Amino acid sequence: MACDKANPFENMKKQVDVVGKKLGLEPGVTEVMKNPKRELTVNFPVRMDDGSVRIFTGYRVQHNESRGPFKGGIRYHQQVDIDEVRALAAWMTWKTAVVDVPYGGAKGGIIANPKTMSVGEIERMTRRYATEISIIIGPEKDIPAPDVNTGGREMAWIMDTISMAKGFAVPGVVTGKPREIGGSLGRPEATSRGLVFAVREAAKKTGLDLKGATVAIQGYGNVGSFAHKLIERDFGSKVIAVTDSKGGIINENGLKYDEVIAHKKKTGSVVGFPGTKPVTNEEVLELEVDVLLPCALENVLTGENAGRVKAKMSGEGANGPNTLEADEILHKNGVLVLPDILANAGGVTVSYFEWVQNLYNYAWTEDEVNARLDQKITKAFHEVWDMAEKHKVNMREAAYMLAVDRVAKATQIRGFYP
């Protein structure tokens, strides 16, 4: 999947500079908002199945802890680099502040392509990485979670690795775990559910009837596929196109979630689903639909292609799918962008719920989890919408203004030690 070469960390810093001026922040406080507090790079050996030893490089970046412990996912991808992880860590800070959960932002990653590795190799890599970053993670310090190419399986391995070192079970060290070892009900669909809640509230504000509304989804992993399921089932929307890393499919009459996901599980891709025409990851962004859901990688909408977006609304299931130039173009063209730090904050919100349940050794029902998530996302959406109306800015600037203001206030209240 082609991505723009824009540096996501530099984009984030530019955004904070703009917002800092709008908020009237002291320049020194703005600098604190822009820079990570701590960065850890680890290079570690893993024994591969053929007996050889391979060195992997991993990162854990902790951006800001003014509002609470660090929180953020771990991704495995061959294109992971330090600036990407820095940007993702900062976005987690803003995301947790927008939905008002008591966390700061962090992110981790390993430069690896797990699709070319065996389960045993992935497990050994995961456990060694967990050991290497164990010096800075923990339930009271930094709580990792799944991200690109990781899930409950990897979180279980990390939890077990840390627990073995401690000598007792430490379920609160990660979130996104399987239910059997302390995971929360509702967590697997949480990011997608939060995204659909945000789209629902935006549709109410703009007068869009989601029943029968057309939808295109770029990225058919966990977030994109569950978004398909929920927006189809709960609102009667018609998903006409979906893509994954191997390509995509389109059918103007609609694609049924149950059928598409069954095909992907059987073949490994949505490509080749019967009764459809092919569509590329680039083309899907430019389809004439009511709702576009970019749920893949960052920087897929740029100054070059944003002007060709025909959707009325773009709900960002991915982190950082737009460059700053794309944002300006979309706003000018009347496309309502629901920014990532609001639209995909459902995952970290339910991760917070999972962490709380772990700390109290008390489990909530799935209905309780979903209802609390709805409350959080709905409240956050309206706070961002009101900020946008008040300051005459787009939704991303409004979300950043809300988030940076909350983090800056917490930073100033705590002061600078010593």
Q: Are residues 234 and 316 in the same domain?
A: yes
Q: Are residues 102 and 233 in the same domain?
A: no
**The CATH number of the domain where 305 resides is what?**
3.40.50.720
Q: Are residues 255 and 152 in the same domain?
A: no
- Residue 174: which H helix or E strand, with range? none
Q: Of 314, 343, 372, which residue is a domain's last?
A: 343
DSSP β-ladder status, 313-315 and 291-294: parallel
Q: Does residue 353 lie within any of the structural domains?
A: no
Q: Are residues 249 and 145 in the same domain?
A: no
107 noted as active-site residue: yes
Q: Of 180, 211, 234, which residue is a domain's last?
A: 180
As a whole number of angstroms, the distance between CA 129 and CA 59 comes to: 9
What is the SS3 assignment for 171?
helix
Q: Are residues 59 and 147 in the same domain?
A: yes
Residue 225: what are its φ and ψ, rounded to 5°? -70, -45
Confirm if 282 and 1 have CB atoms less than 8 A apart.
no
Q: How many residues does the chain have?
A: 418
Q: Are residues 165 and 209 in the same domain?
A: no
> Which pLDDT belongs to residue 3?
45
Q: Does residue 4 lie within any of the structural domains?
A: no
Q: Are residues 113 and 172 in the same domain?
A: yes
Q: Are residues 208 and 310 in the same domain?
A: yes
DSSP letter, residue 414: H
Burial of 283 from C-beta contacts in 10 A (0-12 / 13-18 / 19+): middle
List per-residue pLDDT tens for the chain, 418 residues long: 444 457 889 989 998 999 999 999 999 999 999 999 999 999 999 999 999 999 999 999 999 999 999 999 999 999 999 999 999 999 999 999 999 999 999 999 999 999 999 999 999 999 999 999 999 999 999 999 998 899 999 999 999 999 999 999 999 999 999 999 999 999 989 999 999 999 999 999 999 999 999 999 999 998 999 999 999 999 999 999 999 999 999 999 999 999 999 999 999 999 999 999 999 999 999 999 999 999 998 889 999 999 999 999 999 999 889 988 999 999 999 999 999 999 999 999 999 999 999 999 999 999 999 999 999 999 999 999 999 999 999 999 999 999 999 999 999 999 999 8
> Which pLDDT belongs to residue 298?
82
Is the overall model pTM greater than 0.85, yes or no? yes
> Which pLDDT belongs to residue 345?
96
Q: Are residues 42 and 84 in the same domain?
A: yes
Range of the domain at 79: 24-180
Q: Does residue 363 lie within any of the structural domains?
A: no
Tokens representing 103 are: 């966390």
Confirm if 41 and 135 have CB atoms less than 8 A apart.
no
As a whole number of angstroms, the distance between CA 324 and CA 339 comes to: 12
**The CATH number of the domain where 163 resides is what?**
3.40.50.10860
Q: Are residues 54 and 174 in the same domain?
A: yes
The C-alpha angle 109, 111, 115, rounded to 5 degrees, equals: 100
**Tally of domains in the chain:** 2
Q: Are residues 47 and 176 in the same domain?
A: yes
Q: Does residue 12 lie within any of the structural domains?
A: no
Give me the catalytic one of 13, 95, 107, 229. 107
- Token look-up 């059987």 returns 266
Strand partners of residue 41: 59
Q: Of 343, 374, 399, which residue is a domain's last?
A: 343
Q: Does residue 216 lie within any of the structural domains?
A: yes
> Which pLDDT belongs to residue 105?
98
Q: Are residues 320 and 257 in the same domain?
A: yes
Q: Does residue 368 lie within any of the structural domains?
A: no
